[in-house]
Amino acid sequence: MAIPGSASSRARLVVLVSGTGTLLQALIDHPPVNTEIVAVGADRYGIEGLVRAEAEAIPVFVTPLEDFPDRGAWDRALRDAIAEYRPDLIISAGFMKILGAEVLKDFTVLNTHPALLPAFPGAHAVRDALAAGVSVTGCTVHLVDEGVDTGPVLAQREVAILPEDDESSLHERIKQQERELLVEVVGRVCAEGIPQERVSSS
């Protein structure tokens, strides 16, 4: 799967956020070569992620789930909002909604997750890792499919769990690795594309 990102063609990125936007900020501060963030989308108003985008004069759009009669209608509206920016790649950067078939059939989407998938999928990965008593967790960048954190894995980094860790301290150390890994993987995907075996393994 080819993603434009050569010297003559900058890959157009749309980044989706739901909260503070620290992963978005990593892409702003350390932009992968030959990429451009053309828009930032959110599922709710008044979040710091949108403020970060606006501070960089990046166009923003908001598509709240509650504005639509069902998830299918929301998914179609989100697809249409994204499509206006003609993206080559979508980055789900702390976006806390499950993307549906309409978005996924039209766009390639990368997501980050604060665990070593397939271990600890879902919204409470850090808490679940601590509760399980494992000694190592980490972060994953993967392709998004219609499941919950079930898409093909592109890259992972390990993070040791320290005896004194609580959910907050562990999550912060994972986030540090997650930001670096996201920038690295986006750059690689935009320069080299996604290996076909990764796509076909889903």
What positions carry a catalytic annotation?
Answer: 113
Please tell me the distance from the alpha carbon of residue 20 to that of residue 164, in angstroms, as a whole number. 26
Task: Quickly count: other Cβ atoms within 10 Å of residue 193's Cβ.
Answer: 16
Calculate the alpha carbon distances from 165 to 134, 135, 139 in Å: 12, 11, 16
Q: Which helix (H) or strand (E) holds 12?
A: strand 11-17
* Nearest partner of 107 among 124, 130, 87, 136, judged by Cα: 87
Instruction: Return the bridge partners of 14, or none.
Output: 39, 90
